[in-house]
């Protein structure tokens, strides 16, 4: 799909919300007409006073008319602001909604190449810049252009065309200045948005890792790095604002030159009797009214350049194809065996395969244990099943259908997954457990917590299950976070349960109790347990040992012990370690 420009985006949005833009435009027309009529009316009053054609009642009548015109202009300005800005805010809501929807459909591969702080900056600063371009830039551009046309028309046709031509002589210089400045503004704002993005990313990482920084005594270094990035962001923003400020001298210089020419030539016309004092007064007021269109032009160029720089950062994210295509049509997972058939996979940018020729068949209701040394590809197997990545070779089927034929939502709804590093939201313990089943009762939540050996820990908190866990569960220990995640999946009723080293942060006694509870909880459910502790998979129906992405051993716990391979050696080592800890 070709890239969409900022003008195409605003045009498409304007067509969908044409009523708000049309009503705003009509109000702006009214404002512009009344605004340019005021100097003409003042000129008539001046000439009438000079000719002594106005009495006291006439003066009050003319002044009342001017006040009425001013009040009407005020009400119209309030009206178009309400119409136009409410439409522009809707564009901001649409862009943030699109960005959020896009990010939620992307897989790990996308986020490996994106920084969290940068994505947050795009959702805030960049969207705000596009919103301003669709709102204030449209307003200033339309209002300024209309006012310019009407004012120049009144100066030319309503007063004196010769004086108008003289007054407009300096304006080509201003147009050239604006062209030069706008290019600088675009580059400066693009750099400013990038620097702010990097600053935002640094703050996010620092806050997330603040406990590590404190433990290593690196607060001062993080502070220095923040100061450096903040200063860089401030410098680039200041540079952009300096170039924006350059519009004002260009406008001021042009209008000063135009005023000098007007007063000189216009005074000579009055001296020669070719103009009245009232006409020169009206012409001078019209010239003053050109200040807004000129400033509006500079403001519009600044907002558009800022918006284009922001859209150039936003548009690629919104247009990015999902890292995993969701082209499946099957709405529900059929019961049946789970089969890995010759599956191979390499992570992007890696030459060494993470999995190579892996074949496993897991009948429904059985449990598969996956073990092996660090980096063997155990978690990769889980990620492929969840369709976070697509296999490079081979295929995965479930219930006789390739997993890619299922809709992603249907596939993942049939799987309960506890990752190696469980994520908890800034909510209560009960809300985190009931994440996938919001309608769960407190009794169901407590039952799941008991199965995860968490209930007695929760009871020690002052607020029990209503205890807030803080960002990422910071108030809980690693083992408690894992048990909250286990309780979360036990609360659901999915046909497949995935435990990816989910007991690594608990002691062996807690692990034993949880495994006993899990044996009953997963009855009738297919389960895959990945673990570096062999005790977690000892009762599995089949166990595979992965090394360097290949299956090197396969069998039940007893069969693998008899063979005397890696599994048997690791089992003896872990049993010895456990006996020493018990002693």
Model confidence at 132, pLDDT cuts 50, 70, 90, reads confident
- Mean pLDDT score, 281-289: 69
Mean pLDDT of 63-84: 75
Please determine, for residue 583, whether its predicted confidence score (pLDDT) is greater than 60.
no
The mean pLDDT of 373-386, rounded to a whole number, is 89
Q: Is the dihedral of CA 557, 560, 564, 570 positive or negative?
A: negative
For 198-214, what is each residue's pLDDT tens digit?
787 777 777 767 777 77
What element of type H or E holds 544? strand 542-547
Per-residue pLDDT tens digits for 107-125: 777 777 777 777 887 888 7
Contact 452, 436 (CB under 8 A): no
Q: What is the mean pLDDT of residues 258-271?
A: 74
Distances (CA, A) of 102 to 123, 435, 440: 12, 21, 29
Tell me the per-residue pLDDT of 426-476, one tens digit each, with 9 for 90 and over.
Answer: 888 888 888 878 888 888 888 888 888 888 888 888 888 888 887 767 778
Q: How confident is the model at residue 29 (pLDDT cuts 50, 70, 90)?
A: confident
Name the range with the highest mean pLDDT among 137-146, 240-249, 405-414: 405-414
pLDDT tens readout for residues 180-238: 777 777 777 778 777 877 787 777 777 767 777 777 777 778 778 778 888 888 888 88
Q: Give the global pTM.
A: 0.68
Domains of the chain (ranges; CATH) run: 6-319 (1.20.1560.10), 337-414+532-583 (3.40.50.300)
Cα dist from 162 to 1, 156, 291, whole Å: 53, 8, 21
What residues contact residue 166 under an 8 Å CB cut-off, 6+ apart? 261, 262, 265
Task: Return d(Cα 8, Cα 2) in angstroms, integer.
Answer: 12
CA distances for 79 relative to 14, 23, 24, 68, 319, angstroms: 18, 9, 7, 17, 36
Backbone Cα Rg of the chain:
36
Structure tokens at 171: 């304006």
Which of 314, 319, 4 is closest to 131 using CA atoms? 314
Taking alpha carbons only, the member of 323, 321, 319 closest to residue 311 is: 319
Across the chain, mean pLDDT equals 80
H-only helix segments in 108-135: 108-112, 116-121, 127-134
pLDDT, residue 522, reads 62
């Amino acid at each position: 799909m070709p890239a969409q420009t900022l003008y195409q985006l605003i045009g498409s949005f304007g067509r969908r919300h044409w009523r708000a833009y049309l009503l705003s435009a009509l109000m702006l027309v009214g404002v512009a007409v009344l605004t340019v009529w005021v100097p003409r009316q003042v000129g008539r009053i001046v000439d009438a006073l000079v000719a002594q054609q106005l009495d006291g009642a006439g003066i009050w009548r003319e002044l009342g008319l001017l006040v009425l015109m001013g009040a009407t202009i005020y009400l119209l300005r309030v009206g178009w602001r309400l119409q136009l800005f409410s439409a522009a805010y809707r564009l901001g809501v649409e862009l943030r909604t699109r960005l959020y929807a896009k990010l939620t459909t992307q897989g790990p591969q996308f986020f490996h190449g994106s920084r969290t702080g940068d994505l947050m900056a795009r959702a805030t600063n960049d969207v705000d810049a596009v919103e301003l371009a669709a709102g204030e830039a449209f307003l200033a551009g339309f209002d300024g252009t209309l006012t310019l046309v009407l004012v120049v028309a009144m100066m030319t046709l309503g007063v004196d065309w010769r004086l108008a031509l003289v007054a407009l002589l300096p304006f080509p210089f201003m147009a050239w200045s604006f062209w030069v400045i706008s290019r600088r503004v675009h580059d400066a704002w693009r750099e400013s948005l990038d620097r702010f993005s990097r600053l935002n990313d640094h703050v996010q990482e620092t806050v997330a890792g603040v406990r590590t920084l404190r433990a290593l005594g690196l607060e001062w270094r993080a502070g220095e790095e923040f100061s450096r990035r903040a200063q860089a962001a401030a410098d680039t923003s200041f540079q952009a604002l300096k170039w924006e400020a350059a519009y004002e001298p260009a406008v001021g210089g042009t209008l000063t030159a135009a005023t000098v020419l007007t007063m000189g030539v216009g005074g000579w016309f009055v001296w020669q009797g070719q103009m009245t004092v009232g006409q020169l007064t009206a012409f001078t007021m019209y010239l003053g009214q050109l200040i807004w269109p000129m400033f509006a032009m500079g403001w519009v160029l600044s907002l558009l350049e800022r918006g284009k720089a922001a859209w150039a950062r936003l548009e690629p994210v919104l247009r990015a194809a999902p890292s995993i295509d969701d082209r499946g049509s099957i709405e529900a997972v059929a019961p049946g065996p789970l089969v890995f058939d010759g599956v191979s996979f390499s992570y992007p940018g890696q030459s060494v395969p993470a999995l190579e020729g892996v074949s496993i068949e897991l009948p429904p209701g059985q449990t598969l244990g996956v073990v092996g040394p660090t980096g063997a590809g155990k978690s990769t197997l889980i990620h492929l099943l969840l369709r976070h990545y697509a296999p490079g070779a081979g295929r995965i089927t479930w219930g006789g259908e390739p997993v890619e034929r299922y809709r992603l939502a249907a596939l993942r709804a049939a799987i309960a997954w506890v990752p190696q590093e469980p994520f908890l939201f800034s909510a209560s313990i009960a809300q985190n457990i009931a994440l996938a089943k919001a309608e769960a009762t407190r009794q169901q939540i407590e039952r799941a917590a008991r199965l995860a050996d968490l209930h007695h820990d929760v009871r020690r908190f002052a607020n029990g299950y209503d205890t807030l866990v803080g960002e990422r569960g910071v108030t809980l220990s690693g083992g408690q976070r894992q048990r909250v995640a286990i309780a979360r999946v036990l609360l659901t009723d999915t046909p497949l349960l995935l435990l990816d080293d989910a007991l690594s942060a608990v002691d062996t006694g807690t692990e034993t109790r949880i495994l006993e509870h899990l044996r009953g909880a997963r009855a009738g459910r297919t389960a895959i347990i990945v673990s570096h502790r062999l005790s977690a998979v000892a009762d599995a129906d089949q166990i595979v040992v992965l090394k360097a992405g290949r299956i090197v051993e396969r069998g039940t716990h007893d069969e693998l012990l008899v063979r005397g391979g890696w599994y048997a050696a690791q089992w003896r080592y872990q049993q010895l370690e456990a006996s020493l800890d018990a002693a």
